[in-house]
Amino acid sequence: MGNLLAGKKVGIIGFERIGQKVAELLSCFGCELSYFDNQDISEPSDIFKKVKRQEFMALLKKSDIVSVHYLN
């Protein structure tokens, strides 16, 4: 079942603790990962080397799968 994720472009909206954990879990499937967050995110983990920041509309256009982790 994991091969369904291989090579997919996954966009993560909301890149706080949960979004970063999702990126970490997906990175082992060979996904192309990008994120959008309207807050400035510090770079506390190594996951930032595998995930690039994109603007909201660009992320939506590019992604095959979108994962939303947003708290108001």
Q: Which residue has the higher pLDDT, 8 or 43?
A: 8
pLDDT at 66: 97
Tally of CB atoms within 10 A around 63: 20
Residue of 8, 65, 53, 55 whose CA lies nearest to 32:
8
Q: Which residue bears the tokens 């970063």?
A: 20
pLDDT digits (tens, 9 = 90+) for 33-64: 999 998 877 665 666 777 999 999 999 999 99
Provide the pLDDT confidence category of residue 23 given band limits of 50, 70 and 90.
Answer: very high
Q: What is the pTM of this model?
A: 0.85
Please give the CATH topology (third level) of the domain spanning 6-68: Rossmann fold (3.40.50)
